[in-house]
Structure 1
């Protein structure tokens, strides 16, 4: 038996299709509000991180906002399990600005890591983990500024659209994305500081790398909590095994992860130990202090 649609039903189907096309068209226009994929200039690399200038390097997800915040003193709270049992929460919260990374939570861990979050630096690989828990990472402290970073190819295809859709649901959300030109500067900085090309050396920059640079840009002084020094995992006797993340007790051992990533040449890896050597050099240049554990 043939299915004959009434003229009225046909009209409704056509109208529905036109409405959906209009929504998609408007959505695409909104997603290109700052023309992310066209900003591919090759910027120079200033001699000092203080001269980079955050205003031009980070693009607002919506609106015409500018990342122009300045802090005299910042605390970077790492995701390391070294912070468990530290009772540093009150000290961290007294910092003028507090910077956290990816999906490291404060709920349930405030006594050791604090509650205050001024900036949260989020990698492309952690975007979904952060945005699917908006009550913890987006709406818990509306004054928090989210800074997303990732390879331009991945960001422009899907991830920026996801971030923008969440920002519509949370109009007070303040979010920025590292521009393609700024991402190029991060790569050039790695090559300048290590003598290695990130791509040919099969290295992935860590969120810690981005967070440290952003902190130096935004802050006069930086206190880093929970980051181990570059020689920590190779000292003898070897340190006790500790979870990589304080909020994931079953995560891999921290030192085992660092050493594997540093030595492996198959695939792409974060060079955590190499990055920490660079951070050690920056300490005196940019007024950076490390504690829990302390750096010599």
Structure 2
């Protein structure tokens, strides 16, 4: 009798373990089959991709939103054809450098370098759009970004509390020191009014309030809008489509920046930011969904990858 009870108890335990393993395996399979393919649509579910109203960016544009750090220069750039070079690792191995340098205008972002990468990203820079968080990295490499004879224009963007004329903080003073030291550069700052317009544009194009949705606009957002303002035709190098990180099987690991091979993975960065709820995050995938719509309106094409 005692032996039967022991055997029955052991059988029950084995059944419990078997059921637990079965449930865990099932959940794992469901998670991998759904989350990988659908994770990039996280913000579609809550309405991020439902624009309230399309904006005519050619009418929305206004060069008055960019004020010179010194003097009375105005941003009156206009180009028929522009190359917008991202900092993505997808540009590596493309051999697109010569093609990029042939563009009438070459636009780069933040501290993405050309030295050592000329074969793939070119050497020419006509305009560089720089976030407040990247100013110090530019200053640390003056030979790469600041000390030049054929210098580009630089547009600095950031919260008015950090780079605005009324801020007079350390970052504001650093930008002024750069402009005063490297006089060959044409340096501009996005005005508070224009910064507000960028926020409003995000809300109109996505249906979501940037601040309430805990979003930070990326440098890519500012750069794309500025490119549309000044260029008739735009060719973007290295930007992946909105659905790229949701593919199955998942794309191979790619460093987020081509000049930081040991940096974070591109898709991990995109997905963590897109799904983040605590603290502010860049909504990279949401922005790319907007760029895909703009491409049809403003003569924008994407290469490496092509989409």
What is the TM-score of this pair, normalised by structure 1? Answer: 0.83
The yes-or-no answer on 1:273 pairing with 2:285 is: yes
The yes-or-no answer on 1:244 pairing with 2:256 is: yes
Corresponding residue of 2:42 = none
The partner residue of 2:216 within 195, 198, 204 is 204
CA pair 107-186 structure 1, distance change in 2 beyond 3 A: same
CA pair 46-182 structure 1, distance change in 2 beyond 3 A: farther
Q: Contact 1:54/1:218 (CA < 8 Å) preserved in 2? A: no
The partner residue of 2:232 within 211, 217, 220 is 220
Q: Partners of 1:46 and 1:182 in 2: how far apart? A: 18
Q: Partners of 2:286 and 2:149 in 1: how far apart? A: 34
Shift of residue 160 of structure 1? 2.4
SS class of match (1:242) = coil
**Larger mean Cα displacement after TM superposition, 164-173 or 78-87:** 164-173
Corresponding residue of 2:173 = 161
Q: Which has the larger radius of gyration?
A: 2
Q: Contact 1:120/1:145 (CA < 8 Å) preserved in 2? A: yes
Corresponding residue of 1:105 = 113
Q: Contact 2:55/2:205 (CA < 8 Å) preserved in 1? A: no
Q: Partners of 1:46 and 1:148 in 2: how far apart? A: 26
Q: Partners of 2:96 and 2:149 in 1: how far apart? A: 20
CA pair 120-113 structure 1, distance change in 2 beyond 3 A: same
The partner residue of 2:104 within 96, 105, 115 is 96
Corresponding residue of 2:125 = 117
Q: Contact 1:54/1:68 (CA < 8 Å) preserved in 2? A: no
Shift of residue 141 of structure 1? 5.1
The yes-or-no answer on 1:49 pairing with 2:57 is: yes
Shift of residue 46 of structure 1? 9.8
Aligned ranges for residues 56-95 of structure 1 at < 5 Å? 56-95=64-103
Q: Partners of 1:90 and 1:141 in 2: how far apart? A: 20
Corresponding residue of 1:294 = 306
Q: Partners of 1:214 and 1:154 in 2: how far apart? A: 21
Corresponding residue of 1:30 = none
Corresponding residue of 2:266 = 254
What is the TM-score of this pair, normalised by structure 2? Answer: 0.80
What runs of 5+ residues in structure 1 fail to find an aligned partner?
1-44
Q: Partners of 2:291 and 2:149 in 1: how far apart? A: 29
Corresponding residue of 1:29 = none
Corresponding residue of 1:140 = 148
The number of aligned residues is: 251
The yes-or-no answer on 1:175 pairing with 2:187 is: yes
Q: Partners of 1:79 and 1:46 in 2: how far apart? A: 28
CA pair 171-191 structure 1, distance change in 2 beyond 3 A: same
Q: Contact 1:190/1:196 (CA < 8 Å) preserved in 2? A: yes
What runs of 5+ residues in structure 2 fail to find an aligned partner?
1-52
Shift of residue 249 of structure 1? 0.5
Runs of at least 4 residues off by over 6 Å: none
CA pair 191-139 structure 1, distance change in 2 beyond 3 A: same
The partner residue of 2:295 within 270, 283, 288 is 283
Q: Partners of 1:141 and 1:189 in 2: how far apart? A: 36
The superposition leaves residues 227-254 of structure 1 with CA deviations (integer Å, 9 ceiling, x where unpaired) of 0000000011110000000000011000
Q: Partners of 1:249 and 1:281 in 2: how far apart? A: 31
CA pair 167-250 structure 1, distance change in 2 beyond 3 A: same
Q: Partners of 1:240 and 1:146 in 2: how far apart? A: 34
